[in-house]
């Protein structure tokens, strides 16, 4: 087992809270400092998304624009961080945070999966992400739908565990260009990026490409996104790590003595 694969063992021991332990109807909206603190306090790992503002500040936000979370039709990349800071997430008191602020709140207490968003300056985003994490005292790995992010980490930060995010884009929206969607669905560039894990839509886990790459790479499989105890139970036979939202599992998961699954 490689050192990077060994570093992923900690992710197998805890369920991973998607965008923090959030509830968009309360004061703990997604990708907010409150949601991240809540997840860390509960002992859950955390998955979050990073992207750049107009002035190249690295912030934590999933969508490229603010329509869904702030009700405003504007792109994050068209706003400076000071302008972005004035907006509120889901009508709460929470604002979109800097990545460095999130790291301070988590404080190395739980495992962290960082998704690098591909829509704007992906290489610059990799550099800024790496700079923020260089002296972070806690377990983390990176993932992206964009193979360029994985390639950057393979070349410049080979000690960091990296994961390819994917889905069956014949069933879900993708880039919209059929050859590109085919390449992404089948993760054809894994032969170049050589990921340590694959994070895949658990509902489409029967695709042949996932089984093939699991055999070739011997990699960890991460399920996204689990939204009930029933789905979690169903996904356990195929995946090693589980990203969840929309419910709170009964307790932090620990691997059982056989290594065959996690207990809730």
Tens digits of residue pLDDT in 179-206: 888 999 999 999 999 999 999 999 999 9
Q: What is the CA radius of gyration of the chain?
A: 17
**pLDDT number for residue 202:** 97
How far is 110 from 91, CA to CA, in rounded Å? Answer: 28
Q: Decide if 262 contacts 256 (C-beta within 8 A).
A: yes
Structure tokens at 216: 């070739």
Alpha carbon 117 to its chain's center: 10
pTM above 0.75, yes or no: yes
**pLDDT number for residue 51:** 97
**pLDDT number for residue 4:** 79
Q: Decide if 148 contacts 118 (C-beta within 8 A).
A: yes
**pLDDT number for residue 1:** 52
Number of domains in the chain: 1
Residue 243 has a CB neighbour count (10 Å cut-off) of: 23
pLDDT at 105 over 70: yes
Q: 254: pLDDT confidence band, cut at 50, 70 and 90? A: very low
CATH number, domain with residue 136: 3.20.20.190
How far is 66 from 44, CA to CA, in rounded Å? Answer: 27
Pairing, β 58-60 against β 45-52: antiparallel
Q: 248: pLDDT confidence band, cut at 50, 70 and 90? A: very high
How far is 38 from 196, CA to CA, in rounded Å? Answer: 28
pLDDT at 176 over 90: no
Domain containing residue 142: 3-263
**pLDDT number for residue 260:** 30
């Amino acid at each position: 087992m490689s050192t990077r694969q060994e570093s992923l063992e900690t992710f197998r021991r805890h369920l991973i809270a998607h965008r923090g332990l959030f509830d968009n109807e309360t004061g703990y909206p997604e990708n907010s400092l409150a949601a991240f603190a809540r997840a860390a306090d509960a002992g859950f790992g955390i998955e979050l998304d990073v992207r750049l503002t107009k002035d190249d500040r690295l912030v934590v936000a999933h969508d490229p624009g603010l329509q869904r979370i702030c009700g405003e039709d504007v792109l994050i990349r068209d706003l400076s961080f000071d302008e972005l800071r004035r907006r509120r997430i889901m009508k709460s008191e929470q604002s979109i945070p800097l990545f460095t602020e999130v790291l301070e709140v988590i404080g190395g207490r739980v495992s962290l999966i960082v998704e690098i968003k591909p829509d704007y300056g992906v290489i610059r985003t990799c550099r800024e992400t790496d700079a923020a994490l260089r002296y972070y005292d806690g377990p983390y790995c990176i993932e992206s739908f964009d193979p360029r992010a994985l390639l950057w980490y393979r070349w410049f930060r080979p000690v960091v565990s990296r994961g390819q995010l994917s889905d069956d884009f014949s069933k879900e929206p993708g880039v919209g260009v059929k050859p590109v969607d085919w390449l992404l669905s089948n993760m054809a560039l894994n032969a170049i990026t050589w990921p340590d894990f694959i994070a895949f839509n658990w509902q489409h886990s029967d695709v042949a490409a996932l089984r093939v790459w699991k055999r070739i790479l011997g990699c960890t499989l991460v399920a996204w996104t689990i939204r009930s105890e029933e789905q979690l139970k169903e996904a356990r036979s195929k995946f090693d790590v589980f990203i969840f939202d929309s419910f709170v599992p009964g307790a932090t998961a620990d691997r059982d003595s056989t290594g065959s699954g996690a207990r809730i």
